[in-house]
Amino acid sequence: MLSKDTLQFLEDLKANNNRDWFLENKKRYEAVKKDYHQLVGSLLDALKPLDSSLEMLEVKNCVFRINRDVRFSKDKSPYKTNLGIWISAGSKHTEASGYYLHIENGKCFVGGGMYCPQPDQLQKIRKEIHFFYDDLVEIINDKKFQSVYQSLNRDENSTLKNPPKGYDKEDPAVEYLKLKSFTATQSFDTKLVTQKDFVPTMVEKMLALKPFNNFIERALYTE
């Protein structure tokens, strides 16, 4: 769980996203950072016994700096107004499947999978879907997955209009083959973040994605 003070800081930062205000409130941010890291530590402690691929992860592998990279963005606001947590055997800078938790007032969500894999990885995942479509259907239709996510995310930015080159429009897996990202998410009320059962609740939702993450990793690393 996080403190209400942490959520209030993020809200105040959203209204005062500038360097002067941030420096004036540096002590508040240090408390937020400590709270943030403690939450990640609690999530790792709960997840590691249930997902052995995460055994070597440390808190530093799963957290993000609050500074935004504004070099290629029209929005020049210097600071992020959310806390992101990426838990993956590939850590933050390696493309792999994993679990993600996004904490932002009114925009909280949990989920995971693999976002925008590289072209060679995308080909491997599509090949796995084509040849082992029944496995994917079984994973997505599983009661635990269904109770949290229902289906994989799809929108215009992450879905082809036509089947990818080399695949037939009559392929039973065609709607999944069109995907360019392979993720599933569930939104939740920000109030949950401050409740005592927040960590076990999030861990349960994350683990509903473990078979799907395993499917992606199998696609990427099985010869």
Q: Which domains, and CATH codes, for the chain?
A: 4-221 (3.30.930)
Token output for 126: 């599509």
pLDDT level of residue 94 (50, 70, 90 thresholds):
low
Task: Evaluate if pTM is beyond 0.75.
Answer: yes
DSSP one-letter string for 71-109: TT-S----B-SSEEEEE-TTTTTS---EEEEEE-TT--E
pLDDT tens-digit series, residues 120-143:
999 999 999 999 999 999 999 999
Alpha helices in the chain (DSSP H): 4-15, 19-24, 26-47, 119-131, 133-141, 143-148, 174-177, 198-207, 210-221
158 vs 174 pLDDT, higher one? 174
- The distance between the two most distant Cα atoms of the chain, rounded to a whole number of Å, is 61
